[in-house]
């Protein structure tokens, strides 16, 4: 990546020199459109041109540079020219939505797992880009714990004024942490929410291009979601009873120590679900309409729960508990964990709504 492509403020250049001398990890934070990705490209290019390898963790599930949305991705770069191409990620951490809000634990655990994997590659620099969520409680929680998990040598804060000071100040006394405050380039542009959405859809479309159907037996893996695959399956008497109680056709029900999990074929009586909960003496009941699962994004992960690929649910065989998904992952034999996301999306990339 040529420096001529960007406007490089002198402070950016000076910080690249300092980081090249001191090493990382480097975590980049800033508001949407502040130039986080541009700075990462510049810094990664700077290292690659010196013949040094960069492990780039893309921790932005909304506007990722590496990998599809709704995941964190790890890429390894040794050549500045590779930065211009969209390389497939080495591995991903499944977040489940294009916003980390509602998935903060997935985000923090994903960054940690990708960081461990990045270190195993013995790169010259670990570079972590983050999402533009900088305001509000979720932003404070997420950035606090992401910085805490990685304990980077540098936090690069790209800001016009003080947009991210509230995120760095809780770490101002952390041993060994240096905060580099860099200005936003006058060339930086914030894109409209429509353009951001169109960008996400394009990235989903690219990811699912050429995807195929795969059948996944839930009995062969750990399932993380609202309760599916975690309890004892109820028989037809209970199913009939629940169908009457919920005023709907119940197609699947499971009971675990804390939760009754039910899938219905359509609308159900919301008030009556509490009666059902009492009958089974559980703290919670979780009722899901079958249609809510259709097109739901899922993460397909290995035995270490690192995401090998994402899938889109198209069918759930209730009898055999086989999930039919569309995924670009050609071989699902290594899948041992499946996590249900909270976004419905079709393979053409259109976001169909939240779950």
- Residue among 60, 106, 254, 351 that touches ligand ATP (CB under 6 A): 60
At residue 297, φ and ψ (nearest 5 deg) are -75, 135
Task: Please check whether residue 266 is in contact with residue 293, taking contact to mean a CB–CB distance below 8 angstroms.
Answer: no
* 34 touching Mg ion, by CB under 5 A: no
Choose between 119 and 198: whose C-beta lies nearer to ligand ATP: 198
Choose between 199 and 231: whose C-beta lies nearer to Mg ion: 199
- Residue among 15, 34, 37, 327 that touches Mg ion (CB under 5 A): 37
* 187 touching ligand ATP, by CB under 6 A: yes
- Residue among 24, 25, 30, 341 that touches ligand ATP (CB under 6 A): 30
Choose between 35 and 75: whose C-beta lies nearer to ligand ATP: 35
Map residues 105-144 to x or -, x wherever contact with ligand ATP holds by CB under 6 A: ---------------------------x------------
Total residues binding ligand ATP (CB under 6 A)? 17
* 183 touching ligand ATP, by CB under 6 A: no
Choose between 187 and 258: whose C-beta lies nearer to ligand ATP: 187
Alpha helices in 224-351 (DSSP H): 236-246, 272-279, 290-293
Helix (H, G, I), strand (E, B) or coil at 142: helix
Q: Which residue has the tokens 């700075």?
A: 39
* 203 touching ligand ATP, by CB under 6 A: no
* 7 touching ligand ATP, by CB under 6 A: yes
Q: Which stretch binds Mg ion (CB under 5 A): 19-27, 62-70, 111-119, 232-240?
A: 62-70
Distance in Å, CB of 134 to Mg ion, minimum: 12
Residue closest to 73 by CA, chosen among 93, 99, 87? 93
Total residue count of the chain as it appears in this document? 355
Q: Write the secondary structure of 296-333 as one string of H (helix), E (strand) and C (coil).
A: EEEEEECCCCCEEEEEEEEEEECCCCEEEEEECCCCCC
Task: Please check whether residue 261 is in contact with residue 227, taking contact to mean a CB–CB distance below 8 angstroms.
Answer: yes
Distance in Å, CB of 44 to ligand ATP, minimum: 12
- Going by C-beta distance under 8 Å and a sequence separation of 6 or more, which residues neighbour residue 205? 347, 348, 349
- Going by C-beta distance under 8 Å and a sequence separation of 6 or more, which residues neighbour residue 66? 56, 58, 73, 74, 75, 86, 87, 89
CA atoms of 102 and 106, how far apart (whole Å): 9
> Could you list the residues that contact ligand ATP (CB under 6 A)?
6-7, 30, 32-38, 60, 63, 132, 185, 187-189
């Amino acid at each position: 990546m040529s420096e001529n492509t960007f406007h490089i403020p002198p402070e950016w250049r000076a910080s690249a020199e300092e980081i090249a001398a001191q090493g990382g990890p480097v975590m980049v934070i800033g508001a949407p459109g502040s130039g986080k990705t541009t700075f990462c490209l510049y810094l990664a290019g700077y290292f690659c041109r010196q013949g040094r390898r960069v492990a780039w963790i893309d921790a932005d599930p909304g506007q990722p540079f590496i990998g599809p949305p709704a995941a964190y991705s790890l890429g390894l770069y040794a050549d500045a020219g590779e930065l211009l191409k969209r390389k497939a990620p080495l591995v991903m951490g499944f977040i489940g939505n294009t916003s980390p809000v509602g998935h903060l634990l997935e985000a923090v655990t994903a960054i940690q797992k990708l960081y461990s994997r990045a270190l195993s590659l013995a790169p010259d620099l670990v570079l972590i880009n983050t999402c533009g969520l900088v305001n509000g409680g979720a932003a404070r929680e997420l950035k606090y714990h992401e910085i805490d998990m990685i304990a980077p040598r540098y936090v690069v804060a790209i800001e016009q004024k003080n947009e991210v000071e509230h995120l760095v100040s809780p770490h101002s006394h952390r041993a060994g942490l240096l905060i580099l405050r860099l200005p936003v380039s006058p060339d930086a542009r914030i894109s409209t929410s429509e353009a951001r959405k169109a960008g996400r859809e394009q990235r989903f479309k690219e990811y699912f291009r050429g995807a195929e159907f795969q059948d996944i037996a839930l009995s062969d893996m750990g399932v993380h979601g609202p309760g599916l695959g975690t309890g004892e399956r109820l028989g037809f008497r209970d199913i009939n009873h629940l169908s009457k109680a919920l005023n709907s056709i119940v197609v699947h029900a499971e009971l675990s120590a804390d939760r009754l999990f039910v899938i219905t074929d359509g609308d159900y009586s919301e008030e009556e679900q509490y009666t059902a909960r009492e009958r089974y003496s559980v703290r919670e009941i979780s009722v899901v309409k079958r249609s809510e699962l259709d097109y739901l994004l899922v993460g397909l992960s290995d035995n270490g729960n690192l995401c090998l690929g994402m899938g889109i649910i198209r069918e759930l065989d209730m009898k055999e508990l086989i999930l039919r998904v569309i995924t670009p992952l050609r071989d699902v034999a290594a899948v041992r964990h499946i996590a249900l996301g909270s976004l419905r999306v079709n393979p053409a990339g259109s976001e169909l709504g939240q779950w």
